[in-house]
């Protein structure tokens, strides 16, 4: 048995040999300057050599290194020797049956007391399986539709897959090795940074949705997973999903607004009220910046009367409140042809003519949609909607405009029908009242005739006339004039309303200048 202490050099060497053998590590010593190579059996095995085929020269090992790798290995050894530093390389050993083994070599230079280089010592180990596993992982990462980005403990980017390159709009060559906060500055101070630091501090994964501004201009669903040496980030581009959801929400809001407008339109009692609802409330529902409704002037078929939203300004309201039907404007063209007119941008407005260009300058709106309001084949008006930004007028937007125009046309038609119904009802009521009044008058006349027939004195006749007759005629009083037999005089009798006149004029000459006296003497009405 050895009497060497447990911490002696022989013991330490034995422990190293056991550890190296257990880990499958081969060791070597390259003696310098003669470059005599001393290796153990594990290194021979990794290099596809044996004691019989190994002569102690480095060339024996290089002979089995893959031709594409050998120059790099030799160069790295020479640099380590020249710099008295360290050596690191990965290279392939060609196997007799085909294929190769990937090995990693590490070493460092030893020097004597005078600083002269004496040896390069190190170890070699098989990394084929780990590199293949890494390659398989990388292959999976590269084929994922999810972006993957790895960070080390210092927040430096260590890996970027193809999907992450696409989202970041940058190549991995521009990202790997750089600080994450440097290459993605817009994350600083935002939910991105707070969530990433929280994941690292707590060791717990975090998930969230967030928007990264221009130039990326992207919504991402992020999952940040802590790793022993840093943080793994998974990104999914959800821009289209977010935009679709936002579009659906906007569409829902517009439909709700149109529903509210429909109720308001149904309650409108006048054309002015109806037009204000169409122009003012309609522009909000259509995400527009202004609106107007033009209807034919009921007193002049060659003129349009416009109701213009307040957002387009008082100058516009004053200038275009009335327009000749033959004016060269999109709204009048829509009214003349009963077809929609779309102006997508300022260039189209300029091309349409000088007046539309002036309208764009006055209102600030460069895009316009003028839609005829037609019900049962009859033009009732034109709805005009304006935007300050260019418009495409495609798909959903155009369908919404047409739907709203149809809704407005129905409201106009409904208002006209209500007016006609009210007029007819008023006429019917007036006719009924007239008929009832006529019946009442006839009954009164019959009663008067009977009363007059029963009266046997002049005062009795006067009483009948003053009560029944005055009421029938809506008069304040009445009188009775009788021509005497000689025809030279007229006797008068009047009700108490005219008592003073009756006292003064009880008997007057037939030629007295009063219409009633003349009527009594001539038998003609005055």
- Domain extent, residue 464, equals 455-522
378-415 pLDDT per residue, tens: 999 999 999 999 999 988 889 889 988 998 898 888 88
Q: Residue 323's CB: how many other CB atoms inside 10 A?
A: 19
Q: Residue 166's CB: how many other CB atoms inside 10 A?
A: 14
Per-residue HEC secondary structure of 412-474 comes to HHHHHHHHHHHHHHHHHHHHHHHHHHHHHHHHHHHHHHHHHHHCCCHHHHHHHHHHHHHHHHC
Query: Which of 96, 126, 156 lies at the terminal end of a domain, its last residue?
Result: 126
pLDDT for residue 6: 45
Domain assignment present for residue 440? The answer is no
Do 380 and 295 contact (CB within 8 A), yes or no?
A: yes
Do 312 and 299 contact (CB within 8 A), yes or no?
A: no
Which of the pair, 441 or 247, is modelled with greater confidence? 247
What torsion, rounded to 10 degrees, do the Cα atoms 110, 115, 117, 121 define? Answer: 0
Sheet bearing 507-509, strands edge to edge:
479-483, 489-494, 507-509
Do 73 and 92 contact (CB within 8 A), yes or no?
A: no
Residues 140 and 165 occupy one common structural domain: yes
Quote the CA–CA distance of 526 and 518 in Å, as a whole number.
8
Structurally, the chain folds into a number of domains equal to 4
Residues 198 and 255 occupy one common structural domain: no
- Lowest-confidence region among 191-205, 355-369, 488-502: 488-502
Beta-bridge partners for 373: 381
Residues 312 and 384 occupy one common structural domain: yes
Which of the pair, 211 or 497, is modelled with greater confidence? 211
320-337 pLDDT per residue, tens: 999 999 999 999 999 999
Strands of 280-429 (E only): list them. Answer: 290-297, 300-308, 322-324, 341-343, 367-375, 378-387
Domain assignment present for residue 244? The answer is no
Domain assignment present for residue 243? The answer is no
Quote the CA–CA distance of 212 and 164 in Å, as a whole number.
14
pLDDT for residue 1: 38
Domain assignment present for residue 85? The answer is yes
Structure tokens at 460: 């009795």
Domain assignment present for residue 438? The answer is no
Domain assignment present for residue 373? The answer is yes
Domain assignment present for residue 430? The answer is no
Buried b (16+ CB within 10 A) or exposed e, 25-58: bbbbbbebeeeebebbebbbebbbbeeeeeeeeb
Residues 270 and 395 occupy one common structural domain: yes
pLDDT score of 15 more than 50: no
Do 64 and 94 contact (CB within 8 A), yes or no?
A: yes
Residues 159 and 217 occupy one common structural domain: yes
pLDDT for residue 238: 95
pLDDT for residue 130: 74
Q: Where does the pLDDT of residue 498 fall: very low under 50, low under 70, confident under 90, or very high at 90 and above? A: low
Residues 23 and 97 occupy one common structural domain: yes
Q: What is the mean pLDDT of residues 344-352?
A: 92
Residues 104 and 193 occupy one common structural domain: no
Give the CATH number, domain containing residue 20.
3.30.450.20
pLDDT for residue 495: 67
Residues 29 and 92 occupy one common structural domain: yes
Residues 67 and 192 occupy one common structural domain: no
Residues 143 and 87 occupy one common structural domain: no
Q: What is the mean pLDDT of residues 85-111?
A: 92
- Lowest-confidence region among 118-122, 137-141, 191-195: 137-141
Residues 136 and 122 occupy one common structural domain: no
Residues 409 and 383 occupy one common structural domain: yes
Domain assignment present for residue 284? The answer is yes
Q: Residue 106's CB: how many other CB atoms inside 10 A?
A: 14
Query: Which of 364, 398, 420 lies at the terminal end of a domain, its last residue?
Result: 420
DSSP characters over 261-303? HHHHHHH--SHHHHHHIIIIIHHHHTT-SEEEEEEEETTEEEE
């Amino acid at each position: 048995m050895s009497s060497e202490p447990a911490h002696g050099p022989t013991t330490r060497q034995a422990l190293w040999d056991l550890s190296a053998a257990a880990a499958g590590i081969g060791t070597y010593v390259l003696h310098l300057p003669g470059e005599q190579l001393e290796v153990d059996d594990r290194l021979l095995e990794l290099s596809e050599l044996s004691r019989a085929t190994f002569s102690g020269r480095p060339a024996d090992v290089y002979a089995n290194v893959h031709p594409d790798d050998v120059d790099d290995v030799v160069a790295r050894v020479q640099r380590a020797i020249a710099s008295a530093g360290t050596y690191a390389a990965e290279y392939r050993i060609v196997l007799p049956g085909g294929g190769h083994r990937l090995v990693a070599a590490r070493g460092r230079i030893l020097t004597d007391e005078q600083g002269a280089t004496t040896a390069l010592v190190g170890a070699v180990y098989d990394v084929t399986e780990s590199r293949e596993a890494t390659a398989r992982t990388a292959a999976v990462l590269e084929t994922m539709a999810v972006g993957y980005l790895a960070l080390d403990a210092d927040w430096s980017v260590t890996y970027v897959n193809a999907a992450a390159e696409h989202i970041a709009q940058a190549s991995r060559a521009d990202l790997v090795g750089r600080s994450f906060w440097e290459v993605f500055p817009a994350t600083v101070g935002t939910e991105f940074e707070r969530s990433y630091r929280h994941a690292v501090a707590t060791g717990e994964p975090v998930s969230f949705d967030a928007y990264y501004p221009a130039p990326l201009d992207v919504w991402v669903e992020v999952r940040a997973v802590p790793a022993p040496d840093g943080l793994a980030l998974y990104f999914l581009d959800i821009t289209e999903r977010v935009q679709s959801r936002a579009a659906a929400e906007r569409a829902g809001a517009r439909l709700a607004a149109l529903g509210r407008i429909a109720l308001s339109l149904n309650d409108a009692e006048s054309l002015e009220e109806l037009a204000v609802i169409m122009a003012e409330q309609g522009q909000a529902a259509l995400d527009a910046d202004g609106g107007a409704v033009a209807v034919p002037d009921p007193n002049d078929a060659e003129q349009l009367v416009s109701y213009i939203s307040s957002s387009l300004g008082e100058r516009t309201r004053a200038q275009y409140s009335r327009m000749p039907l033959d004016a060269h404007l999109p709204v009048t063209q829509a009214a003349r042809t009963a077809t929609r007119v779309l102006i997508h941008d300022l260039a189209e407005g300029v091309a349409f003519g000088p007046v539309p260009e002036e309208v764009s300058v006055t209102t600030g709106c460069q895009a316009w949609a003028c839609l005829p309001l037609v019900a049962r084949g009859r033009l009732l008006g034109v709805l005009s909607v304006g935007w300050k930004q260019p418009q495409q007028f495609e798909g959903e937007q155009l369908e919404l405009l047409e739907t709203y125009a149809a809704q407005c046309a129905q409201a106009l038609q409904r208002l006209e029908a209500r007016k006609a119904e009210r007029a007819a009802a008023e006429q019917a009521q007036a006719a009924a009242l007239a008929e009832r009044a006529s019946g009442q008058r006839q009954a009164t006349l019959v009663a008067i005739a009977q009363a007059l027939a029963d009266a046997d004195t002049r005062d009795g006749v006067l009483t009948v006339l003053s009560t029944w007759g005055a009421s029938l005629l809506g008069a304040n009083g009445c009188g009775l004039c009788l021509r005497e037999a000689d025809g030279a005089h007229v006797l008068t009798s009047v009700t108490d309303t005219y008592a003073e006149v009756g006292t003064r004029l009880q008997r007057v000459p037939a030629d007295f200048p009063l219409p009633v006296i003349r009527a009594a003497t001539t038998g003609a009405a005055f």
